[in-house]
Amino acid sequence: MIVAMQEGAEPEQIQRVIDRLVTMGFEVHRSTGERQTVLGAVGARADFDIRDVEVMPGVQEVHRISAPYKLAGKSFRPEGTVVRLKHGITLGASQVPVAAGPCSVESRDQLMRAAEAVSRAGAKLLRGGAFKPRSSPYSFQGLGEEALKLLREAGDKLGMAVVSEVMAISQIPLMSAYVDVLQVGARNMQNFDLLRELGKVRKPVLLKRGIAATLEELLLSAEYIMAGGNYEVILCERGIRTFETYTRNTLDISAIPIIHKLSHLPIVADPSHGTGRRDKVAPMARAAVAAGADGLLIEVHPDPDHALSDGAQSLYPEQFAKLMDEMRLIAPAVGRSVA
Ligand code: PEP
Ligand code: MN
């Protein structure tokens, strides 16, 4: 932390700040200029609040130099993390795998048709909701274990890894028996008890950015999982809430290169929830891959007009196949390949 004292700060004020920094566990290096004193505080601790120092008398400004997350930060693993799934699927290496499927698993017929279509088009992960976090308690809440069984059956039949959302700690054992990747939804990004439990699981976690979460908060949530010993975290940019109402959310494409700078964890993009509109999904998917996304998450439904959730943002199978063809052109242009 760098603490710049105000011009003319009293020696007692400077000393009080130094004492405070020492109490916080820092080693303090003082540099006294002609008009101003600057304190450099170094130490291993990450859990401090710079405002504690900012509000002290005589302090002009304070800057944090070290990130508040350690395990999720780039310096922990500068070479990058590669999450390996079954069937040779990797996230964070040269492949850009696509996870696709319906928002909710609605029936055997619906899931099988969706799975076959996305697999044929080149998706390597099958994604579908079994437990759904719906804004209204009266909306379809998901088929639960029946959906998990169908996802597993379809995934095994088609050679795909399976992703589904876990909403509560109590669902972890059941879900772990069926899925290859546990998704944490935007609404649960700061469900710290859930994150802590997922730290004990030996299965990759796909952690979605909360609708109003900063990237620092996203990385601190990843830190919760990693602090428990589970280092297989895949981040997901799924759009944030802004003042724009045309789209359901605003997909923050810039999050992709920023996360690559700040963290070693792979980041995938979800243009389906990021836009909420079927006609905007493909352009944003193309942009995300061009910006360096390590994977995509796309909602596809065999009959989106009758979907029980997120129909408006679900692609028709033909649209998805066309998008995958485009991916096969875009990914190599940025040194990647669609898995
Ligand atoms: C989903 O993935 O279907 C979902 C509910 O997403 P989010 O948590 O990003 O809203
Ligand atoms: Mn959805």
Domain limits, CATH 3.30.70.1140, in the chain: 2-63
Q: What pLDDT score was predicted for residue 43?
A: 85
If you take atom 8 of ligand 1, which residue's CA is the nearest one?
Answer: 185
Atom from ligand 1 closest to the CA of residue 297: 2
Q: Which amino acid is at 192?
A: F
Q: What pLDDT score was predicted for residue 252?
A: 98
Q: What pLDDT score was predicted for residue 44?
A: 63
CA distance 333 to 165: 32
Q: Work out the angle at residue 296's Cα, subtended by the Cα atoms of residues 244 and 257, and round it to the nearest 5 degrees.
A: 70
Query: Of the ligands numbered here, which is closest to the C-alpha atom of 183?
Result: 1
Best residue among 140, 162, 184, 208 to mutate for probing ligand 1's pocket (most ligand atoms within 8 Å of CB) is 208
- Any idea how long the chain is? 339
Element (H, E) at 205: strand 205-208
Q: What pLDDT score was predicted for residue 331?
A: 98
- The residue to which tokens 């923050």 are assigned: 252
CA R_g for the chain: 23
CA of 94 relative to ligand 2 center, distance in Å: 27
Q: What pLDDT score was predicted for residue 339?
A: 76
Q: What pLDDT score was predicted for residue 66?
A: 87
The binding-site residues of ligand 1, defined as CB within 6 angstroms of any ligand atom, are 103, 129, 133, 165, 185-187, 208, 238, 273
- The CATH code for residues 74-334 is 3.20.20.70
CA distance 17 to 6: 12
As separate numbers, helices (DSSP H) first and strands (DSSP E) second, the chain gives 11, 14
- The CATH code for residues 2-63 is 3.30.70.1140
Q: What pLDDT score was predicted for residue 234?
A: 99
Query: Is the model's pTM score more than 0.75?
Result: yes
- Render 152-193 in DSSP notation, one character per residue: HHHHHHHT-EEEEE--SGGGHHHHHHH-SEEEE-GGGTT-HH
Q: Which residues in the chain come in under a pLDDT of 70?
A: 44
Q: What pLDDT score was predicted for residue 328?
A: 97
Name the region of 310 (left: φ>0; alpha: ψ -120 to 50; beta: rest).
left
